[in-house]
Amino acid sequence: MRNGIIFAILFACLVVFSQGIAAEKPLRSTLEQAWNNYLKACKSGKESELEKTISSYRLGTMKNNLARSKRSLTPDLIKSIAEDAADISTAKFVQLIENGPTAGLVYVKDSKEKDASNKPRVTFMFIKFVKESDVWKVDGEMNIGSPKFQKNGKETEFNPSELPPTHEIDGKVRKSP
């Protein structure tokens, strides 16, 4: 009887754990596809395509900043966004962070730099997404701080507290400025 209870508890834990993993995988795939769509839209140089893949807050902020500089969002400028974007295809997935209509993907990559002790360093890449009208859109990206390392030269832990307020996964979708 006791073994049966223990088995039932272990089975229930396994089911709950596997559902958590299953839930993360589809969202991760969805977000990675949203990232690839964003890059494709940027490479097209078309503002109409970019609007489908970037949050309205981020697009509005970008346009306002350009207007203050007496510039506009040109096809060449849109294309340059893709050139500076994180290349997650060569990075290792680390973590998915989700809070309601906000989510973030974290990747780590060797920085090809070494510290004073000749230990390799790594850099974390972070991409924030927001869900607008049932569509996940890119809301920002950044490299996290300076390259990091552990004593053994392996990847260190990602620290969400290093994110600026605009990149926090806080469950809030900002309105377009």
pLDDT tens-digit map of 106-164 = 998 887 777 777 777 788 899 999 999 999 999 999 987 566 666 666 656 777 888 89
C-alpha closest to that of 141 among 106, 102, 116, 176: 106
Query: All domains of the chain, ordered by start, with CATH?
Result: 2-167 (3.10.450)
| Per-residue confidence band for 177, with pLDDT thresholds at 50, 70 and 90 | confident
What pLDDT is attached to residue 12?
A: 44
Say if pTM beats, i.e. exceeds, 0.85.
no
Alpha helices in 45-116 (DSSP H): 47-51, 56-68, 75-83
